[in-house]
Amino acid sequence: MSLSIQGKTAIVTGSAKGIGLAVARHFLSKGAKVMFADIDEACLEGAVGDEARTEGPARMFVGDLREKLTIANLLSATIDAFDRVDILVNASRRMVLSDPLNAEDDGVEGLWRENVLTSLRLSQMTAKRMIAQAEKAGTEGPVGTIINVSSIAAVRTQPGLLGYSMASAALDQMTRSMAVELAPRGIRVNAVAFGSVMSASLQAALKEDPAWRTRISDGTPLARIAAPDELAEVMQFLASDASAFMTGQILTVDGGRSLLDRVDVPAF
């Protein structure tokens, strides 16, 4: 089986910065056509604006994917640009602290909507497009792949991460459920759960409290924070035929963090 994603079309959400940008850039370097999607127009313009204005393999889409109409517009823009969609990477995610005793704290609701429901709706609507294009072409066999970005917070309880942990756990179960539902239609659904990756959220946290870097390294057997590109390599594997018999799996990429009993190390 091949790791190649040459010629495939991918939508990568949250691709203005951090993990999403690394994945989108990596896919481009491997010969895929990529729709960069994000709500942050300024960051997205800075990341891919010049390339997106050409007729090359990169395009960009700005919009709030919490809205169904925006999702429909994203899919239409992708089909208009590339005629099809083969890969969806749900990398758009947010991490905020939540107070478990504050009933007025809307952090849990916000994370549920952004990290879970957005990925679910986009996966559902993208899967329909994948199925329709396969039926139109009269092709049999693999139809597409969906990859979710999750966190080890789904299975490791940490202070202040109530909403984030709940959303991550729901995303994992959504991955499994969607995998079972879509397998007969030729669509595979998997997820990557990370520990600490140098994402935009973590960079901001380290600026506020540089001591976290040491805590993370000490709490990780490989003794470092992962670079976003390291997740991108795993995403390529899941998007390629090399993982053709894999679906409904949550791949843990955390440098061994989840092997240790540490609750004082942030998982984002």
DSSP assignments along 77-100, one per residue: HHHHHHS---EEEE---------T
Average of per-residue pLDDT across 179-189: 97
In this predicted model, which residue has the larger pLDDT, 268 or 20? 20
Specify the pTM.
Answer: 0.92
| CATH 3.40.50.720 fits domain 9-257 | yes
Cα-based torsion angle of the residue sequence 170, 171, 173, 177 in order, rounded to the nearest 10 degrees? 130
Catalytic residue among 36, 61, 82, 164: 164
pLDDT tens-digit series, residues 58-96: 999 999 999 999 999 999 999 999 999 999 999 998 777
Active-site residue flag, 164 = yes
pLDDT tens-digit series, residues 10-66: 999 999 999 999 999 999 999 999 999 999 999 999 999 889 888 899 999 999 999
pLDDT tens-digit series, residues 191-203: 999 988 887 777 7
133: left (phi over 0), alpha (psi -120 to 50) or beta: alpha
Helix segments in the chain, DSSP class H: 18-29, 41-52, 68-82, 107-111, 118-137, 162-182, 200-208, 211-218, 228-239
